[in-house]
């Protein structure tokens, strides 16, 4: 086809939902698109697998998920000095206890209790940095960067990272370990069918670029889903059902012992997704 006659199709991920740079192997305009949902490839955060190669070589020698999970947690404790606050440079003071708890597990559990809280802000800002997908919602719409809601989001994320033991690097490794486990559990799969319960459709941004019979929805840059449809019923009158690429799963409840309160919860990186929308 002559280039002059070709029909230009705009990216399915709007420019307002992405950053021009990120820290992984695909730009946001691709990994946040419908094309990626349909044809996913592995996502790698720059340098993490190589830098922690000894961990993953060791994990390969453990036959059970429980043993690997324990080895991973031990590695995180030692590598990030989670039990050695003085060696990590944390000075005595009123904030010592709260800073001591500001680790990857605290972020995950905080998300489970309130995704619009401080830990949720940290995780959403981490997704912005690593994958270039901008948060759309945090205790309100983030569309207006001059709004109090947006300023509170930035403040919560900054305070959540202050004086931590390389918290963003902990999250890098958590994501990479999650991907390692998913590949072992689902060696022949590229997607999982997951569900999300919502109360109002206007809480989600429906896109006009969809070319299928399904709805195309721009999700927040981080979202909770479940693998059990009956669990999704508990959270809203409308059920979103979609195919989630495995590389877009940040963590899930069975990844580590006692990780999330939801029995079938998956925390999913956002972008544009084809979804079917059903009522209960």
Cα Rg of the chain (Å, integer): 19
Angle between helices 118-131 and 167-185 (to 10 degrees): 70
Q: Return the exposure string of 124-139: e unless at least 16 CB atoms fall within 10 Å of the residue's CB, then b.
A: bbbbbbbbbbbbbbbe
Average pLDDT of the chain, as a whole number: 89
pLDDT of the residue at 212: 67
Q: What is the pLDDT averaged over residues 202-222?
A: 81
User: What pTM does this model have?
Assistant: 0.91
HEC secondary structure over 43-62: CCECCHHHHCHHHHHHHCCC
Whether residue 1 is predicted with pLDDT greater than 50 in this model: the reply is: no
Whether residue 155 is predicted with pLDDT greater than 80 in this model: the reply is: yes
The larger pLDDT score, comparing residue 280 to residue 57, is at: 57
Whether residue 243 is predicted with pLDDT greater than 80 in this model: the reply is: yes
> Residue 187, exposed/middle/buried by CB under 10 A (0-12, 13-18, 19+)?
exposed
| Lowest mean pLDDT across 1-15, 45-59, 240-254 | 1-15
Predicted confidence band at 144 (pLDDT cuts at 50, 70, 90)? Answer: very high
The larger pLDDT score, comparing residue 280 to residue 100, is at: 280
Q: What is the pLDDT averaged over residues 98-113?
A: 84
pLDDT of the residue at 165: 87
| Lowest mean pLDDT across 57-66, 79-88, 187-196 | 79-88
pLDDT of the residue at 25: 97
Whether residue 88 is predicted with pLDDT greater than 60 in this model: the reply is: no
> Residue 53, exposed/middle/buried by CB under 10 A (0-12, 13-18, 19+)?
exposed
Distance in angstroms (rounded) separating the CA atoms of residues 27 and 20: 7
Task: Give the tens place of pLDDT for each residue, 107-128.
Answer: 999 999 999 999 999 999 999 9
Residues in contact with 64: Cβ distance below 8 Å, sequence separation at least 6, in sequence order: none
pLDDT of the residue at 203: 67
pLDDT of the residue at 246: 98
pLDDT of the residue at 10: 75
Whether residue 235 is predicted with pLDDT greater than 60 in this model: the reply is: yes
Distance in angstroms (rounded) separating the CA atoms of residues 120 and 100: 18
Q: What is the pLDDT averaged over residues 54-65?
A: 97
- Report the share of the chain in percent with pLDDT over 70: 86
Distance in angstroms (rounded) separating the CA atoms of residues 225 and 197: 8
């Amino acid at each position: 086809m002559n280039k002059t006659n070709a029909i230009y199709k705009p990216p399915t991920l709007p420019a307002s939902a992405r950053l021009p740079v990120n820290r992984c192997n695909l730009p946001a305009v691709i990994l946040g698109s419908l094309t990626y949902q349909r044809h996913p490839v592995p996502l790698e955060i720059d340098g993490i697998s190589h830098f922690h190669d000894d961990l993953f070589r060791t994990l390969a020698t453990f036959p059970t998920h429980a043993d690997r999970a324990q080895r991973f947690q031990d590695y995180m404790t030692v590598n990030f000095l989670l039990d050695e606050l003085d060696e990590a440079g944390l000075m005595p003071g009123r904030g010592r206890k709260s800073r001591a708890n500001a680790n990857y597990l605290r972020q995950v559990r905080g998300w489970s209790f309130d995704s619009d809280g401080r830990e949720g802000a940290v995780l959403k800002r981490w997704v912005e940095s690593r994958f270039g997908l901008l948060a759309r919602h945090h205790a309100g719409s983030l569309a207006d960067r001059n709004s109090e809601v947006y300023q509170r989001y930035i403040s919560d994320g900054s305070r959540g990272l202050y004086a931590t033991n390389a918290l963003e690097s902990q999250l890098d490794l958590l994501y990479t370990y999650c991907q390692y486990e998913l590949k072992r559990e689902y060696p022949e799969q590229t997607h999982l069918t997951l569900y999300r319960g919502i109360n109002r459709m206007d809480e989600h941004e429906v896109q006009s670029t969809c070319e299928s019979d399904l709805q195309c929805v721009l999700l927040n840059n981080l979202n909770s889903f479940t693998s059990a449809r009956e669990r999704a019923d508990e959270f809203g009158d409308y059920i979103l059902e979609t195919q989630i690429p495995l590389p877009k799963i940040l963590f899930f409840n069975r990844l580590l012992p006692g990780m999330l309160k939801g029995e079938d919860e998956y925390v999913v990186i956002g972008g544009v997704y084809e979804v079917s929308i059903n009522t209960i």
